[in-house]
Homo-oligomer: A and B are copies of this chain.
Amino acid sequence: MVTIADVARHAGVSSSTVSYVLSGKRTISAETRDRVRDAVRELGYHPHAGARSLAARRSHIVALMVPLRTDVYVPVMMEIAIAVTTAARQHGYDVLLVTNDEGPDGVRRIAGSGLADGVILMDVELDDERIPVLQAQGTQAALIGLPRDVRGLSCVDHDFAAAGALCADHLADLGHREIAFIGYGSGVYHRHAGYAERTLAGLRDRASRRGLRFLHRTCEGTYESTAGTLARILADRPGTTGFVVQNESAIGPLLTLLRTSGRTVPEDASVIALCQDQLAEQFAPKLTAVTGSAQELGRVAVDQIMRRLGVVNGGGRPGDELELLDPVLTVRDSTGPAPRLA
């Protein structure tokens, strides 16, 4: 292994000089700087990460805690994870992947050992048990998802309430009077997953404000459960002409079921999906969808934690900070004017 001493010898300077050249924390003459940089390149020097973290008390690593549970649409998680690593690299940081099965102890271990300088938490629950640990340990963190109490925390999430409202508005604008919301399985709501509840609230509120009749039904996402959900909706509200789907895996079944029940999309029924554009475009007809950028989510979380770590200066002390990302409605072929007669 090539060490800083090797570089120093090769460049004819002391190792502290090499360190200062690399960190830029003191002024170094241009010629010395170049000699050192050449030596670094020729020898293929990479500072030893452990030694660095020991001496500087900074590991240049952030931990990303991902849920094991997969009721949240998996590709989105991956997209966030990749966005996080890419964004972190631009600040000289690497990303440690930690699963949630260690729970709060995972946070303790990672932070306590100095393995990571900070933590990004995904799939944060309303009363997440990892948050007290964070605060007890004084660990810097950024949360993707909203806990009940955001004081002193940095959080980022999609504005699910706005997304729900956008769906209601779009259907109302098209003249629909009765709409149904096909959500996630009941477990998700019982767990009080913030995103599910906020979407529902946003949708319900806007629907009522626009004078729409609104119905919410849970759906596990299998073909059978989707069939059951749809049947119940049509039994309870035969006049339903607008559907909003949040459970990604229910989309395919829903379209098939509408078709086999003799309803043409969008002439007889309109469908809006809350999902990624990529997915929305895979169906026939292409789906009108409300989307938030997963990449943006990861990028913002990294920004937040870098600010808290003082890697970038974010103007002042880290207080609480809450960023909600605006959803985007993309109109495609699955929504249209409400049919004249019910």
A residues touching B (Cβ–Cβ < 8 Å)? 1-2, 44-54, 59, 61, 64, 66, 68, 74-75, 77-79, 81-82, 85-86, 89, 94-99, 101-102, 108-109, 112-115, 221-223, 249, 252-253, 256, 281-284, 286
Q: Please name all residues of chain B whose beta carbon is closer than 8 Å to the beta carbon of A1 when the two chains form the complex.
A: 112, 114
Task: Determine if A99 and B112 form an interchain contact, defined as CB atoms under 8 angstroms apart.
Answer: no
Task: Determine if B44 and A50 form an interchain contact, defined as CB atoms under 8 angstroms apart.
Answer: no
Task: Determine if B102 and A89 form an interchain contact, defined as CB atoms under 8 angstroms apart.
Answer: yes
Q: Please name all residues of chain B whose beta carbon is closer than 8 Å to the beta carbon of A54 when the two chains form the complex.
A: 48, 50-51, 54
Of B47, B85, B115, B252, the contact of A49 (CB 8 Å cutoff): B115
Task: Determine if A286 and B50 form an interchain contact, defined as CB atoms under 8 angstroms apart.
Answer: no
Give the most central of A59, A66, A68, A282: most B CB within 10 Å.
A282
| A85-B98 in contact given A49-B59, A54-B54 (Cβ < 8 Å) | yes
Of B46, B79, B97, the contact of A81 (CB 8 Å cutoff): B97
CA–CA, A79 and B101, complex, Å = 14
Q: Please name all residues of chain B whose beta carbon is closer than 8 Å to the beta carbon of A282 when the two chains form the complex.
A: 221-223, 249, 252-253
Task: Return the chain B residue nearest A68 by Cβ.
Answer: B82
| A284-B253 in contact given A75-B74, A85-B98, A99-B85 (Cβ < 8 Å) | yes
Of B44, B81, B115, B249, the contact of A94 (CB 8 Å cutoff): B115
Q: Please name all residues of chain B whose beta carbon is closer than 8 Å to the beta carbon of A77 when the two chains form the complex.
A: 78
Closest CB in chain B relative to A65 CB, distance in Å: 10
Q: Please name all residues of chain B whose beta carbon is closer than 8 Å to the beta carbon of A86 when the two chains form the complex.
A: 99, 101
Q: Please name all residues of chain B whose beta carbon is closer than 8 Å to the beta carbon of A64 when the two chains form the complex.
A: 97
Q: Please name all residues of chain B whose beta carbon is closer than 8 Å to the beta carbon of A74 when the two chains form the complex.
A: 74-75, 78-79
Closest CB in chain B relative to A92 CB, distance in Å: 11
Closest CB in chain B relative to A313 CB, distance in Å: 25
Closest CB in chain B relative to A249 CB, distance in Å: 5
Q: Please name all residues of chain B whose beta carbon is closer than 8 Å to the beta carbon of A48 when the two chains form the complex.
A: 54, 113-114
Task: Determine if A82 and B66 form an interchain contact, defined as CB atoms under 8 angstroms apart.
Answer: yes
Task: Determine if A82 and B99 form an interchain contact, defined as CB atoms under 8 angstroms apart.
Answer: yes
CA–CA, A81 and B78, complex, Å = 9
Known contacts A47-B113, A74-B75, A252-B283; 20 further A-B pairs (Cβ under 8 A): A2-B112, A46-B112, A46-B113, A48-B54, A49-B50, A50-B51, A50-B52, A50-B59, A66-B82, A78-B78, A78-B81, A81-B81, A86-B101, A89-B99, A95-B96, A221-B282, A223-B283, A223-B286, A249-B282, A256-B256
Task: Determine if A96 and B94 form an interchain contact, defined as CB atoms under 8 angstroms apart.
Answer: yes
CA–CA, A139 and B183, complex, Å = 48
CA–CA, A109 and B52, complex, Å = 14
CA–CA, A46 and B107, complex, Å = 12
Closest CB in chain B relative to A43 CB, distance in Å: 10
Task: Return the chain B residue nearest A44 by Cβ.
Answer: B112
